[in-house]
Amino acid sequence: MDSLLIKGGVPLHGEVAVSGSKNAVLPILAATLLTAEPCRIRRVPHLSDVRFMGRILESLGAKVSADGDGLRVQAKKIQGVGNYSLIRKMRGSVCILGPLLGRLREATVALPGGCVIGARPINLHLKGFAALGAKVTIEGGYVHTAARRLRGAELFLGGRAGSTVLGTANVMMAAALAEGVTIIESAACEPEIVDLAHFLSAMGAQITGAGSPILTITGVPELHGAEHEVIPDRIEAATYAIAAAATGGEVTITGARADHLHAVLDKLGEAGVQVRRQGTALRVRRGARLRPVDVTTLPYAGFPTDVQAQMMALMTLAPGISILTERIFESRFMHVSELARLGADIEIEGPSAIVKGGRPLSGAEVMASDLRASAALVVAGLAARGTTRVSRVYHIDRGYENLDGKLRKLGARIQRVSES
């Protein structure tokens, strides 16, 4: 098991390129199951989650191979039973249910795993499949869906924390091969859903309204192969922007989509961070003094839950009181106790974390609990005096391509070491 050893206090400077989006590429790879023809997906990030998804597709019968900066997938003959030993390792694997049901009219998939950040039930996914005419049962840790015919329907996918992103993706993929018209109300509006809709449209699907709360899918008899380039990872871009601000450096982030980052850039501006758009690049530098800000995570286009932990790390450095309220996942403050080991002063009150910022951070040994918590600890370690060791960084490898290598190119004193 690896850890990251960080000698902090060095401002980041230089240029860093954003990789393809983790949250977009997983459902897009799952969507290749909807056709027997070959598909080519470009700008695929080198992540452990992507490798797991490739292995899941292969376990179902698809052929997966490297192709330039991406992957080539052909699911000519597939089975509808998902392997528990693979699927249990990441929640994103649940998105194979929709395409398997759409193509085979039957699917049996193990309930998924992933980061421990609170309950993330798939009841809305199953509600959507049932609306399309599928019979859904859960037994022995597996979800079984089956339908003689899938028929379009009008359905509502809003939940306690708002729209479901993977649920929208799953139902959209199944509906692409259903008979008639499906209208999803309270559909997720995230850029990753729009990207999936673009790929499905390239395969011959008929989809309108992507990026809005009302998504309309007119089913077609079959889909064909297609080529697609994955959008840049907005969470990775936000993480590098926050790291630049936390260290007092100046970093140019290339290949970012500023239009996917409005809420993050707005809060960074409030905090005294200067962000200039230069074509498809963002130039980020910290102003003379960081200012505290209040943040509430919300579904897109609100502030993303996946950036809450990193923003909290930045706010520990801003003199004054910041309040970060988590409205998406109820257990997403597991990084708080680890930030406290670095010297942060944070109290939890219900769904909010109250950060009393401005105290200098000092290096310590900390342990990552999930993907974005890992990134927050790295940001804090970069800003802290002394040496920080972040253990269990396999979480980072799930969602950040070559994080330590990219940071080293920006001047960070960071190295990956093997734990005995």
Question: Domains in the chain, please, with CATH?
Answer: 2-19+232-418 (3.65.10.10), 22-229 (3.65.10.10)
Tell me the catalytic residues.
Answer: 115
Per-residue model confidence (pLDDT) at position 116: 40
- Alpha helix stretches (DSSP H) within 157-261: 165-175, 191-202, 234-247
**Mean pLDDT, residues 368-376:** 92
DSSP 80: S
Q: How confident is the model at residue 160 (pLDDT cuts 50, 70, 90)?
A: confident
pLDDT in tens, 336-371: 999 999 999 999 999 999 999 999 999 999 999 899
pTM: 0.96
Give the integer Cα–Cα distance in Å for 13 and 58.
Answer: 41
Degrees to nearest 5, angle at CA 120 with 114 and 125 = 105
Q: 117 pLDDT exceeds 50? A: no
Q: 415 pLDDT exceeds 70? A: yes
Give the integer Cα–Cα distance in Å for 101 and 97.
Answer: 6
Residue type at position 310: Q
The residues near 193 (Cβ < 8 Å, ≥ 6 apart) are 165, 168, 169, 172, 187, 210, 211
